[in-house]
Structure formats: C-alpha cells, structure tokens
Amino acid sequence: FFISSTAAAGRAQVQQEPSAETNEGTGININCSHPNIQTGDTIYGYRQLPGRGPAFLLGDPPGRLWVAADRRSSALWL
C-alpha cells in the first residue's frame, strides 16, 4: 500500500508485512496499518512481482479494498 499526501510528503507511515504469497487460485488478505493518515491523504494499492517495478493494483487483478471508518487501517483481498 502507498499513501499519497496532499501536504507534506512522507508524513503518513504505512505498516504492513514486507511480502505475502499464496498459491495460484487461492485468495489472500493483505492487512495494512496507517495510524497517522490525514484527511487529504489517499490510499493506493500496488503489487511488485520479483524482478519488476511496482504496478498499480486496484482493479487489475480484481480485488476488494476495505478501509476502516477512521481510515487508520485497511485490507486488500485478492
């Protein structure tokens, strides 16, 4: 996950496991904590495969993003 801030860059900190893997055809849930998120900050999801750069994730492959009401945590199911 990546959080884009409309104000000071780098203000929001994202805490998550450094990697996750599953077998093909099996879903996975990736949890993320961003306790310092601000009102103008935006949450983005990216996937980085071995040997490749980050690629925007939401929508391809299809997944579901859940964001807590207070926006301090989120989960992405793929």
pLDDT digits (tens, 9 = 90+) for 41-71: 888 777 777 888 888 876 656 678 888 999 8
Range of the domain at 52: 28-77
Token pair, residue 4, equals 């884009």
Residue 59 has what pLDDT? Answer: 61
User: Does residue 16 form part of some domain?
Assistant: no
In angstroms, rounded to a whole number, what is the distance separating the alpha carbons of residues 76 and 61? 12
User: Does residue 65 form part of some domain?
Assistant: yes
Is the pTM here over 0.95, yes or no?
Answer: no
User: Does residue 23 form part of some domain?
Assistant: no
In angstroms, rounded to a whole number, what is the distance separating the alpha carbons of residues 20 and 62? 17
For the chain, the domain total comes to 1
User: Does residue 19 form part of some domain?
Assistant: no
User: Does residue 36 form part of some domain?
Assistant: yes
